[in-house]
Structure 1
Amino acid sequence: MEEEQQSMTRKKVTLAYIPNDATRRATLKKRRRGLMKKVAELSVLCGVPACAVVYAPQDDKPEIFPSAEEAKQIFTDLGNMPEIDKNKKMVNQKTFLEQRLLKLNQQVRRLDHENRELAGAVCLRRCLAGLPVEILNKEDAEALLELLDRRAKAVQTRLHQLGAPPIPLGLPAPPLLAMPVAERSGFDAPAIEAMRRCNWIGCGGEVASGMMDYGQPMVGGSGCGDSAGDDDVLSLFLEQEFITCPLN
């Protein structure tokens, strides 16, 4: 338990030459013992031949694991291997750092892609909530455009799988034409005029202009009577679907 607490509170070691002689010798002794232990664990757990040879300036002989004879046999077997197999997974410090750098660059690109995807999704939701597109900065606008392009391509792929005709991409949205209320709702002019007099249709011009604020109620607070026929007309009106029709 104490060792776990010490390992959790241990500071990160800077990989640099230790100038102090006493500290350097103590570090060598401690880490060499740990290295030999790890090599032994690797050999036992994975069932592979492994050895370690560590030279120290103050020692007459190197420290070898598991023994000089076994280490010599391992090196002999390694030398007898074909060159292509010998160098297949062998790396030096330069190669290791290059591989590590490549992985980190791939991770950075992946995170950058995810961040742009999230930024585009946030901009899309804000624009759908009413934020004008004109106030977006260049980065947000590009992220939104990339997101819309990817999703449009995904829709095209799905339509192709379903056998439906593809939708042309890159075309501007058609202008909206406000349809007359009578054509949109299916009621005749006298019925609509009666509903206006009864304040069933809001007087703010939402319906007359062809656009509606879906966050506001469509029906006013005052009515013109308790007629069952009027209630039927109102229920039919509320069931109608208000749409905007694109110009041909």
Structure 2
Amino acid sequence: MTRRKVQLAWIKSDSAKKASLKKRRQSLLKKVKELAVLCGVKAFVIIYSPDEFKPLLWPSSTEVNRLFTELIKVLDVERGNKMIDQEKYLKDRLMKIKENLKKIYKRNKRMEMSELLDEVHGQVKNIKEFQVNEVNGLLWFLNEKYQKVTKRIEYHHQVADLSLQSLNGNIVQENINANFVATANTFNENMAPSSMIHDS
């Protein structure tokens, strides 16, 4: 016999409502107990009923108080990790602004030094005409370029060394194979029957 589908609607009859509350409350407590025992989880239930002065506490009032206190502590820790006061927010915001300004300053400085370098190459302006800060800027710019070129050269050297090692390994393997074939041929000739040697 199939169970009748329950219509989820407010029960008008007080007696039917109390009977449904009692039945379903016991079913809920049974499910929570099974969940705690089978899965090893911490669980408690607090049910307020309109016709009862005290709420129903499961498994006991002492255990409910203990688990509830533990839950509040966990929530406070998580809330504290996610919360941020105004001072910390302003410091973080200021740090991000400074980092962005530093990036913008370097980008503008590179563009300015690149233009100065083009003027030197194009003989538009003599380097003797530059001010001290412009000369220092050019030295910084050239040093940065030098470091990038050095890193790229080192990278290509590493790639070349790896390619050379691979090539040498292939040559050695080919020599080994050739020596093996030559040795095998010599061995076959030495092991050939004497009659065959006379016939030839």
Do both share a fold (TM > 0.5)? no
Question: TM-score, normalized by length of structure 2?
Answer: 0.39
The structure with the largest alpha-carbon Rg is 2
Question: TM-score, normalized by length of structure 1?
Answer: 0.32
| Relative contact order higher in (CA < 8 Å, ≥ 6 apart) | 1
Greater percentage in helix: 2
